[in-house]
A and B are shown apart, each in its own frame.
Chain A
């Protein structure tokens, strides 16, 4: 294999292919163009790397994200210069915000034309400087292999993220020396993996003294790998503490477990948010106190001591001041916490914990996810519940678009394992779900991959249906069609006097015919009584499906922490119906997003 021929002359294009193979890459997502033709030629002449042709470069990046998130591997994208690179920017920022490892290779105009406003030239490294974790413009073909290996190292280590390598076309033709990936590191970039021992010890002491503790976990656990999820389960069970998670962290802890409180935050459960607000010790593991989680910052969990474990030092004390910061890989630190907890025979305060669980039981009994059912109209929550019931026994990967349906998916679809849930959390990118489903399906050809979508979001990258058809990817796109940009409509109702400015999905396509036009299957369902049978029809079909699920048009997403409010100021669905919610939100809250 490659290792025997560690140093060898080859063209830049061949170096790219070899470096990818040596990095263990089996699949890349891309779109050809003038400035990457030599690399596409090198791809043509080999059979080890599979290339998935997207229909738009944004689709390629989201597919690579779906691939990365469902496998824990680095996603790889290959696009051309100029518009190829700029179209990929949204996907890179999405990956940056959600800490998803990507390597994006862009072609560039030949070195001697850089700076001349050549055809399809843009300042790719300049444009993507703030869109990537790091980026490179290759200037010497002999640096190319090292830079590519370094790019993989930077993308996957520390807090993962997208790394871009811009390769001028002349270097793709030029002959250079290939060096293998052995011992690749970076002289300065050496993220800290092991947490400070004294601080971990202090954290465990604090946990043992807690009377009202809570684990608050995030996407960092998923990024740390399946072992981190395993260790988390052990720690949570050993302590007996309640646990909640961010949108990004769903699946790290099983939703069926007794200690699970559901998701927290703006559309989190009543019990999760109240537990956060009233706790005395908060153990934040791999989450970053995002504004969707904290609500009003000065009223955030006012009485608690806070432990924060994060691999990124800049996440510490960024939004919320914490008492015990621990910088390190969260999986590593959890294992260390678990070891100390067991070795030193720590015990939680049983009586206090019992009272705490009693209190949590009272919050749970508010049943914040209840909604008013209907015999005539499909409620969107009901649709997600039925989809969950029909698919829960199988190996299922779920992606979403962005909006109300995304929150309903997070609330009513339940995850038992990590890497099964892919959603655009930080950037909130409409158009993410369908291409991400393609990436997940490519990685898991025999699994069931569902994209829970909204009719507006899914149209943003609908062209990727062609990719699904071409590569026989049987993704199931489950569209909760309410003919509105639902979350925009909800905010307009709550904050802007129900003036629905531009949020009605006018002139929608016929999704059934659209599916057929793309070579897939279309299913429409308007009757709750037929829903189960039609979901089954979707699951039974061996090919891509667009499921046009016509749901209640003006359903709102509850429970909800209104902007500018604290965790214990949640409004529930039934209360919301009774009063004017617009009046609940203060003038300061209206300015927030």
Chain B
């Protein structure tokens, strides 16, 4: 097959769509129906007057599969543009996580010290818990969450990746 000998790569795709009912369903259905991976997906309206939304998808596959994903997304009627940010120069990639940790005494103090080291912000505090907010690349979030695990990690909420290219040009 065309695709099987090539290495699997991680790619970040930006998809500009009409914000109409079902558009997210079309995108997600395309990925599930054709067997592509979604590692993360974020979506929000970005231009209210024009009803435009931007979807950021982190996916993985061989270069041929990534090309197919791009072409298949481009085929959807409400899709304006698809840009493979991983293939178009340097980019900024960010994710936000809310992390709840519960504990008392030294464990609690240790969690706060680590949070400071990671520049996480305290969004909520009780005598026996914290909610931290942390923004950064996904692997930094992963690392912080794994450190919180023995310190009373209760739950995590992550936004998924938002990304944009560096420099003056838009997509």
Contact = CB atoms under 8 A, between A and B. Distances in A.
Genuine A/B complex: yes
Contacts of A319: 2
Nearest to A159: B75
A319 B64 CA distance: 10
B25 interface: yes
Interface in B1-45: 1-2, 18, 21-22, 25-26, 29, 33
Contacts of B29: 129-130
A313 B75 contact: yes
Interface stretch (B66-74, B121-129, B148-156, B162-170): B66-74
A120 to B, nearest CB: 21
A314 B2 contact: no
Given A154-B77, A187-B18, A188-B18, A316 B1 contact: no
Contacts of A514: none
Interface in B62-103: 64, 67-68, 71-72, 74-80
Interface string A120-150: 0000011001100111010100000000000
Contact of B68 (A129, A133, A314): A314
A135 B21 CA distance: 11
B21 A134 contact: no
A104 B76 CA distance: 18
Contacts of B25: 126, 129
A313 B74 contact: yes
Contacts of B21: 137, 139
B80 A317 contact: no
A230 interface: no
A186 B77 contact: yes
A320 interface: yes
A188 B77 contact: yes
Contacts of B26: 129
Nearest to B16: A188
A189 B76 CA distance: 8
B75 A317 contact: no
B18 to A, nearest CB: 6
A323 to B, nearest CB: 14
A241 B114 CA distance: 73
Contact of B72 (A139, A154, A314): A314
A513 interface: no
A342 interface: no
B72 A298 contact: no
A297 interface: yes
Nearest to B69: A314
A135 B18 CA distance: 14
Interface in A311-328: 312-314, 316-321
Contacts of A321: 2, 64
B79 A188 contact: yes
A17 B74 CA distance: 32
A297 B25 CA distance: 32
A93 B72 CA distance: 17
A102 to B, nearest CB: 15
Interface in A266-323: 297-298, 312-314, 316-321
A570 B72 CA distance: 33
A393 B146 CA distance: 78
A268 B21 CA distance: 45
Q: Bin chain B's interface residue count.
A: 20 to 34
B158 to A, nearest CB: 27
A409 B22 CA distance: 42
A129 B74 CA distance: 16
A537 to B, nearest CB: 49
Contacts of A298: 1
A134 B77 contact: yes
Contacts of B22: 125-126, 129, 135, 137
B95 to A, nearest CB: 28
Interface string A178-215: 00000000111100000000000000000000000000
B86 to A, nearest CB: 18
Contacts of A135: 22
B34 to A, nearest CB: 10
Contacts of A186: 77
A314 B71 contact: yes
B74 to A, nearest CB: 6
A314 B75 contact: yes
A289 to B, nearest CB: 10
B71 A316 contact: yes
Contacts of A130: 29, 33
B77 A133 contact: yes
Nearest to B79: A188
Given A134-B77, A188-B79, A312-B75, A318 B68 contact: yes
A89 to B, nearest CB: 14
Contacts of B78: 188
Contacts of B71: 313-314, 316, 318
A313 B76 CA distance: 12
A316 B26 CA distance: 21
Contacts of A316: 71
A117 B123 CA distance: 42
Nearest to B17: A188
A188 B2 contact: no
Contacts of B77: 133-134, 154, 186, 188-189
Contact of A317 (B18, B64, B74, B76): B64
Contacts of B74: 313-314
Nearest to A315: B71
B25 to A, nearest CB: 6
A135 B22 CA distance: 10
A137 B22 CA distance: 10
Nearest to A296: B1
Nearest to B22: A125
A189 B20 CA distance: 14
Interface string A483-495: 0000000000000
13 contacts: A126-B22, A129-B22, A129-B26, A137-B21, A137-B22, A189-B77, A312-B75, A313-B74, A314-B75, A317-B2, A317-B67, A318-B2, A321-B64
Interface of A: 125-126, 129-130, 133-135, 137, 139, 154, 186-189, 297-298, 312-314, 316-321
Interface of B: 1-2, 18, 21-22, 25-26, 29, 33, 64, 67-68, 71-72, 74-80
Given A126-B25, A130-B33, A134-B76, 12 more contacts: A129-B22, A129-B25, A135-B22, A186-B77, A188-B77, A188-B79, A189-B77, A313-B74, A313-B75, A314-B72, A317-B68, A320-B2
